[in-house]
Amino acid sequence: MQDEARIFARRIGWFVLVGFLIRLAYLLWLQYSGSFMIGDAIVYHMEGNSLADGNGWRNVIVYKRFGIIRQTAGHPPLYSYWLALWSFFGMRSTLSHQIASAFLGSSSIAVVGYVARKIRGNTVGLIAAAIAVLHPSFWSWDGMILSETLAILASASLLLFFVSSTQFKSNRWYILGGVLAGVAILSRAELLMAIVLLTLGVLILQRSRTAVKHAAIMAGVAIVVLTPWAAYNTARFDRFVPLSNSAGVTLAASNCADVAGQYAGRWSYFCAVEAAERVTKKWAIEHPQEIPNTSISPNWQTDFPNAKISDKVPTVHQYLKMNEAVVDGLLRQDTVEWIKQHPRYFIKSVAIRIGRVTGLYKPTNQMRSDVIPEGRRKPVAFAAWYLYFALLPFVAYGFYKIFRESKQHFLTLIAPLATSLFVVATTFGNTRYRAIAEPTLAITAAVGLFYFGQAVIRRWHTQRQ
């Protein structure tokens, strides 16, 4: 068994190396073809450099464009801290941060392989690792400088812990699991829901005091890991902000009349802007004593030539100076009110959003939306979807076989997928939001391919006889 484990580890090491080389080739192609960043990638890249410079968690876009220091918690901090570590040692360029992401992405190959090995043996482990090496849905995020690459690694690590948990006897393992859970949540907020589902799966199947004790240990340790970030946010915003405060703008961007037709199930920048203007004016009327100073320097256009402010300068400036946590709450309230007034729109949007990320609704349109406005290169976006569709039958077959063999493994693998679909249903149909489910899809596809291959071999032998 030890020799077998060493052979598997050596082979996985080769897979990781090949995966890293593929990522480097992709990065070089991006540099050659004119690498660019868009949206969140700009924020992560600039945030990493800003943190390394000791500027703390301020909105880097607002500061660069308008010179306003605005405290932010737009997303959980871990990915930005990872980039900041590289920036601190002088590796501040776009390419440096892409390489930093490639290290994370390559690591996920090994974790995915080991999860699959735990579920169905060495061969399935190597098939799953191969899928993680080749599939653009694993390696494309590295070049885009997006936290999805860390989300995949965190999700796969949680799967590895939970599929191995039946072998853990000491409480130390569950302390480690609590640390892992806290770190995962600091990577992507939605992984909190995945962890809850993973834990519930164990409790439902085991139904023992020991399982409850282990879950309590993990929860307590995870809370300890999360407390410094939550306390830091609460001190800055004078409100309880445990992880991030971007839910409001996300909901506002995806729930309005403009998100219809070919854009149904997606999001709109203009919807978010209109909602921000609406809640700012409302706040100014209801809280005149708390209106931030809206005075603007006469030479603001000279000082900030890149600023693109409309003729509603006072409203925009007032919005930028508001407490970000307050704005988030106002936007959430505004969106909920809009949904109450348009329930049919919301129900239809939920179905379309899920249809988009699963490939059931206008797949070609979704491929194009991955290119514009999400910033995925067209060949990569289309290749990712083609491979997704090719593997989908094996994913379904793999889920079926796993359900027949082990209810615990089935519940473990389904948790990230269910979480991903819930996030998509409540926000918008963005392929990126499927990232935490990619390890599950690779592992179940590997199981399906393994059993399909066995069936083909048996039939071939039967025919020869």
Distance in angstroms (rounded) separating the CA atoms of residues 381 and 135: 11
Task: Determine if residue 145 is left, alpha or beta; phi over 0 gives left, psi from -120 to 50 gives alpha, anything else beta.
Answer: left
- Whether the ω angle into residue 373 lies within 30 degrees of 0, i.e. cis, is yes
CB within 8 Å of 206: residues ≥ 6 apart:
none
User: CB–CB of 98/104 below 8 Å?
Assistant: no
- 24-66 pLDDT, tens digit each: 999 999 888 776 778 889 999 999 999 999 999 999 988 888 8
Tens digits of per-residue pLDDT, 381-419? 999 999 999 999 999 999 999 999 999 999 999 999 999
Please, where are the H alpha helices in 135-206? 136-144, 148-164, 171-187, 191-206
Q: Which residue has the tokens 């450099």?
A: 49
The domain segmentation of the chain, as residue ranges, is 2-464
Record the pTM.
0.92
pLDDT band for position 1 (cuts 50, 70, 90):
low
Residues 404-461: tens digit of each pLDDT: 999 999 999 999 999 999 999 999 999 999 999 999 999 999 999 999 999 888 888 7
Q: Which residues contact 242 (CB under 8 A, 6 or more apart)?
A: 226, 229, 230, 233
